[in-house]
Amino acid sequence: MSGTDSETGLFEAMYTQRAIRHYTQEPVPDEMVRKLIEAASKAPSGANSQRWHFLVIRDADTKRRIGEYYWQSWERAYGSRAETEPNIQTNVRSSATHLAETMADAPVLIMACIEHDGTPSTMSRGSSIYPAVQNLLLAARGMGLGSVITTLHKRYENEIKAILGIPDNVETAALLPIGFPQEGYRYGPTRRAPVEEITSWERWGGTPAGV
């Protein structure tokens, strides 16, 4: 079994986390999947409601059907059927295209879901599920597993819910492929905009006192 979380500290995990979209066919043990979901369950949620639910998908035919919808979504958003030319880095496009073509081959898919009261979907609903998703991604990083948050499947929300038997009062939030990274695809330092470029003080565009 590859991977270990014994040497990965919190900040190291955050500072080296990146999207991993290429996986080996090495099986991911159930105990590792359980640990990922346990880590997700430690996240905060609105009023501590914990209305999340995680669907673990291993069945090949189910993964194939979900993968077909994911590929159709990719084609509509970024492929030959995209309405506009998407602004996406070449290396990211190549990696994301690979995932769209091979989603069904990931050893495990985890669908993160959130229960709701029937009101229309809003950004605030995500505040009770996406922290859990990030916990899961960080746990994957710590355990040597690869993953990436994807949401393209939501173009076919109703169809996906029908495949998985998801109730009407539950919304899917993220589809997470899980697997051990292929050779040549690893976590590591990431390039991000410096804090000064993405931070304002007191009001939009404001600088720190004394600057």
pLDDT digits (tens, 9 = 90+) for 156-171: 999 999 999 999 999 9
- Stretches in the chain below the pLDDT threshold 70: 1-7, 85, 123-124
Helix, coil or strand: residue 201 = coil
β-strand 52-57 against 108-115: which pairing, if any?
antiparallel
pLDDT digits (tens, 9 = 90+) for 61-92: 999 999 999 999 999 998 877 777 677 777 88
Backbone angles phi and psi of 54, in degrees to 5: -120, 120
Only one residue has tokens 């931070």, namely: 199
Tokens of 202: 């007191």
Question: How crowded is residue 98: how many other Cβ atoms within 10 Å of its Cβ?
Answer: 13
Query: Quick one: pLDDT at residue 53?
Result: 97
For residues 154-186, b (16+ Cβ closer than 10 Å) or e, as one string?
bebeeebbeebebeeebbbbbbbbbbbbeeebe
Which of 178, 180, 187 shows the shortest CA–CA distance to 54?
178
Query: Quick one: pLDDT at residue 10?
Result: 87
Please answer whether residues 36 and 109 qualify as being in contact, where contact means their C-beta atoms are separated by less than 8 angstroms: no
Name the average pLDDT for the chain. Answer: 91
Please, what are the domains in the chain?
A: 10-198 (3.40.109.10)
Please answer whether residues 44 and 131 qualify as being in contact, where contact means their C-beta atoms are separated by less than 8 angstroms: yes
The model scores a pTM over 0.75: yes
